[in-house]
Amino acid sequence: MEALRDEPLWTPAVQRPRSLHEAWELKRTFGRDGVYVAGSTLLRTQWEAGTVSMPKSLIDLRGIEDLADIDEDGGGLSIGALADLSRCRRSAALGHMAPAVQEAVRCIAAPAVRNLATIGGNIASGYGDCLPALLVCDAELAVFDGKFLSRRRVEEWLADRWSGMHPQEDILTGIWLAPPAGPAGSRRIEIFRKVGRREAFTPSLVTVAIGCFIDSEGRLSGVKIAAGGGSGRPQRLDIAEAVLEGASIGKEQLASVFEAVVTQFETYGDPFATVEYKKKTAGNLIVAELWKALEGSAGKGDH
């Protein structure tokens, strides 16, 4: 009978703030006993798995206006943190502005989960599969700190998130994507790839993302490469980027890129995949996608 899991004998209270200020104050009052929620799909699985305790209070952000909007604004794209992943998956504007992000969204969970889960929740976890894609798109995150709403680059936000330095009360309110601007005559390449233990609806083992411009002579510029996966920290791979910046893709560069990725990518082993396997997988994915780009048949996300 122990195999039968039931719900805990108590459930948290739900707070329903109507403004960012109110939500922020509630979090400050509750401290670790209160958690911001929206779709709560990740949190629910963590509670069920016993990896995270159910808090005493849920601070439901869904009652705050405008946090789920997707708006084209000043040439860029603003995505509210509470936009659900299905909406992001269908957004033509997101597909145009940041195809790698949209592909990452497509690869998260399954449609029914994406109907509940929000892009903000995926990011706020600190390791969601959107993050490598956002890193190569130079995205910024809008954060409310109790007084002001400010934008921070994803890399900076991640650094604080993983160092534990960011104030727990901060509220992620949205994502800002500027239109990618490359040299005249160049075209944008954006790629996201995910490898899990099965083909679909599976947590990631390794994710990679590539963003760059390629000119008519095959030279690359603005190269950004990132990797993550599982609950590991998403990270830029700047050694591999440096190999490719200003270069044309050739076999020699690809060999160097592979070595750079395997050397720099910091990840973790688990019972199903060793560190070495994940490093090699990241290297192979990146090189394979670059090769496809060279062949003029880049994978999903290329435009």
Partner 1 sequence: MLDKYAANPGDRDNLPESARDAEENRCALGGAEAMQGMPNNPDCADASLPAEPGETLITLSCRINGQPVTAEVPPSRRLLTVLREEFGLTGTKRSCELGRCGACMVLIDGRPVNSCLTMAYQCEGAGITTIEGLSGGGLHPVQQAFLEEGGFQCGYCTPGMVISVVALLSENPKPAPEEVEEALSGNLCRCTGYGGIMRAVNKAIEKGVG
Task: Give residues with Cβ within 8 angstroms of 217, minimum separation 6.
Answer: 248
Long-range contacts of 221-224 (CB under 8 A, 24+ apart): 221/182, 221/183, 221/186, 221/245, 221/246, 222/180, 222/182, 224/135, 224/136, 224/137, 224/138
Three-state secondary structure call for residue 206: strand
Alpha-carbon distance 135 to 115, whole Å? 24
- Residue found by looking up tokens 């910046």 in the block: 245
Instruction: Decide: is 41 part of the binding site for partner 1 (CB under 8 A).
Output: yes
Interface with partner 1 (CB under 8 A), residue from 23, 24, 36, 40: 40
Q: Per-residue string for binding with partner 1, 98-137, x by CB under 8 A? A: --------x--xxxxx-xx---------------------
Alpha-carbon distance 232 to 282, whole Å? 13
Judged by beta carbon, residue 11 or residue 248, the one nearer partner 1 is: 11
Judged by beta carbon, residue 60 or residue 245, the one nearer partner 1 is: 60
Considering only residues 165 through 224, tell me which ones interact with partner 1, judged by CB under 8 A: 200-201
Instruction: Decide: is 49 part of the binding site for partner 1 (CB under 8 A).
Output: yes
Using the contact rule CB under 8 A, the part of the chain among 6-14, 220-228, 237-245, 260-268 near partner 1 is: 6-14
Q: How far apart are the first and last CA of the chain?
A: 54
Instruction: Decide: is 255 part of the binding site for partner 1 (CB under 8 A).
Output: no
Instruction: Decide: is 53 part of the binding site for partner 1 (CB under 8 A).
Output: no
- Residue found by looking up tokens 């920290």 in the block: 233
Instruction: Decide: is 231 part of the binding site for partner 1 (CB under 8 A).
Output: no
Judged by beta carbon, residue 141 or residue 205, the one nearer partner 1 is: 205
Tally the C-alpha atoms within 13 A of residue 303's C-alpha that lie toward its C-beta: 13
Alpha-carbon distance 283 to 1, whole Å? 45
Judged by beta carbon, residue 45 or residue 284, the one nearer partner 1 is: 45
Instruction: Decide: is 242 part of the binding site for partner 1 (CB under 8 A).
Output: no
Interface with partner 1 (CB under 8 A), residue from 23, 26, 35, 58: 58
Which residues in this chain contact partner 1 in the complex, by CB under 8 A?
1-2, 4-7, 9-14, 40-41, 44-45, 48-49, 54, 58, 60, 62, 86, 106, 109-113, 115-116, 200-201
